[in-house]
Amino acid sequence: MNTLKSQELLRSSLRRIDGRGYKAYEDIKGSYDFAGYTLAIDYVQPDPFAPPSQVIVHVPQKTAAFPHELFQNRIREVALEDYLTRRFYTLSSRARGGSRGTGGSGLISIDKPPQEVFERTSVFVRENEIEARFVVGLPARGRTVLGRQAEEIFFEEIPLLVKEALIYRNLDEGEVKRHVDTVEDADSIRRRLAEKGLVAFVADGAVLPRASGVDDRPLAEGRVVQFRSPERVRVEFTAPNRGDLSGMGIPSGVTLIVGGGYHGKSTLLNAIEKGIYNHIPGDGREFVVTDARAIKIRAEDGRSIANVDISPFINNLPFGKDTRTFSTADASGSTSQAANIIEALEAGANILLMDEDTSATNFMIRDGRMQRLVAKPKEPITPFIDKVRQLHSDLAVSTVLVMGGTGDYFEVADMVIMMDEYIPCEVTREAKEIAKGRYSERSFEGGERFGAVKQRRPLAQSLDASRGRREARIAAKGLHTIAFGYQTIDLSHIEQIADISQTRAIGDILYYAREKYMDGKRTLAEILSLVEKDLEEKGMDILSPYLRGDYAMPRMLEVAAALNRLRTLQCA
């Protein structure tokens, strides 16, 4: 443990190195005793254009004085940590920022959360202290230390941030409680979905449309239609803080979302897919809650596939190509969608979310006329419509599907919801009557069973993260891209990643799994389970040799998706 130094030593060091070369900032590395908290300069950037320096603040609970009821269980603890991160970010973003010189000089920032709430490494709430991890751009002109400006940061701005963001008496108590209570209520509903035979719940009054395609905040302009559940599918939950909540329950099985174009089908599905996460108060989707193992599936032309058994959907390829261990560097729409489903099942998904707009048409349906023209022995693809019921009966996997182009799915659906000007109507009986009253032109092609889900064994040597002399070079290059050694992992079609900090963690989780658990004997499911257990017990600090404040917890489903898109992946 670092010896605690006096804050005056930091002040004198900053004045002493003022005007010297930038590397002189190395002298200030260490831990310092400030009034009411300690400050650790954990990493010092080598120049003003490099990633900023890492700073950690520890505030004793006797100073922070947060009531225990705000963090009395794990989900409330995560919610409070999220609130404090947002508060710190908002206040720090109002500071002078990069106005003190070259590069990132003067920056003070913490990891920025999105609308979703999940475990992060930016702030930790413990029984004895609050810990905040953030970055500081040490000021310079060119590569000359601006010690006096750095002194302002450490002795004026950071103390103010600590006071205003991390001391309970300086916060809006009602706002803090509302944030924590809302997250706990949503989590409580999610944990009780299965009790009611549900895979998702959409509360009455929810606001589902977003401000824009690049702004995930709720729509606030124009006509905003609040969600209202159809009476026949309305259910109620009693939340621990908010009390009774009513809304639409989506049951296990096969649910269709239908309706005309621009009436809200995809908007509802998008809200359901993000319902795997809790949301902040005011988001509009606070109580849109989905089972945590739901995964969005789509076609993904051009992706690589490594040894996946796609035979439940695709078989009898020309020239005898084996689909039980199917590999390709350039998948078609249908083969990619088949592989995406099998890989999701292998990783533990129990709900598939699909939209016809992002699906391969020949994978979803083969109508009667085409069946008569192209006989089944000449068609390798078994369409999803003929497998969707087997997914539920054989594997207990449910499907929620947006479908506006064909009524053939009426026959296999357990529930049909029609969106009409963003208002849902339950039309299952009507859909079944239509299906019953018209002779089906289709022949069933799905066989008797869904088929086995093959477990693969990833080979560690195929995950080479080295780059030049560096043993591991892994970095998030945006929300949907991971640089993994010389490889680039494209996650642009993995729609449930919500934060670049999740992407960052996913890359390092892959390397952690490679180093610790990929022995050629363990299956992917076993590896994911072991990694998940380590993260739950030890936290995300196990992913890096130094403390980081820019990780957010991903699901193992997205970790598996990233692994499956590493083009060098090999599996036994």
Confidence of residue 2 (pLDDT cuts 50, 70, 90): low
- The alpha carbons of the chain give a radius of gyration, in whole angstroms, of 26
For the chain, the average pLDDT equals 95
What topology is assigned to 196-450 in CATH?
Answer: Rossmann fold (3.40.50)
Q: How far is 459 from 454, CA to CA, in rounded Å?
A: 16
Instruction: Find how far residue 299's CA is from the centre of its chain.
Output: 19
Please tell me the predicted confidence (pLDDT) of residue 317.
Answer: 85
pLDDT digits (tens, 9 = 90+) for 398-415: 999 999 989 999 999 999
Mean per-residue pLDDT for 209-220? Answer: 92
Q: How far is 190 from 204, CA to CA, in rounded Å?
A: 16
Kindly tell me if the per-residue pLDDT of 216 is higher than 90. yes
- 316 burial type by CB count under 10 A (0-12 exposed, 13-18 middle, 19+ buried): middle
Give one DSSP letter per residue of 486-549, joined into a string.
TEEEE-TT-TT---HHHHHHHHHHHHHHHHHT-SSSS-HHHHHHHHHHHHHHH-GGGGSSS--S
Amino acid identity for residue 514 in this structure: R
Beta strands in 71-128 (DSSP E): 108-109, 116-117, 123-125
Kindly tell me if the per-residue pLDDT of 285 is higher than 80. yes
Please tell me the predicted confidence (pLDDT) of residue 96.
Answer: 55
Answer yes or no: pTM beyond 0.85.
yes
Contacts of residue 448, Cβ cutoff 8 Å, sequence gap at least 6: none
Is 1 in a helix, a strand, or coil?
Answer: coil
Buried b (16+ CB within 10 A) or exposed e, 291-302: bbbbbbbbbbee
Bridge partners (DSSP) of residue 57 are 39, 132
Query: Residue written as tokens 């963690």?
Result: 505
pLDDT digits (tens, 9 = 90+) for 20-79: 999 999 999 999 999 899 999 999 999 999 999 999 999 999 999 999 999 999 999 999
Confidence of residue 318 (pLDDT cuts 50, 70, 90): confident
Is 252 in a helix, a strand, or coil?
Answer: coil
Mean per-residue pLDDT for 531-540? Answer: 98
pLDDT digits (tens, 9 = 90+) for 236-253: 999 999 999 999 999 999
Asked if residues 121 and 539 have their Cβ atoms less than 8 Å apart, the reply is yes
Amino acid identity for residue 410 in this structure: F
Confidence of residue 439 (pLDDT cuts 50, 70, 90): low
Amino acid identity for residue 370 in this structure: M
Contacts of residue 117, Cβ cutoff 8 Å, sequence gap at least 6: 78, 79, 82, 183, 277, 278, 279, 280
Where are the domains positioned within the chain?
A: 4-171, 196-450, 460-564
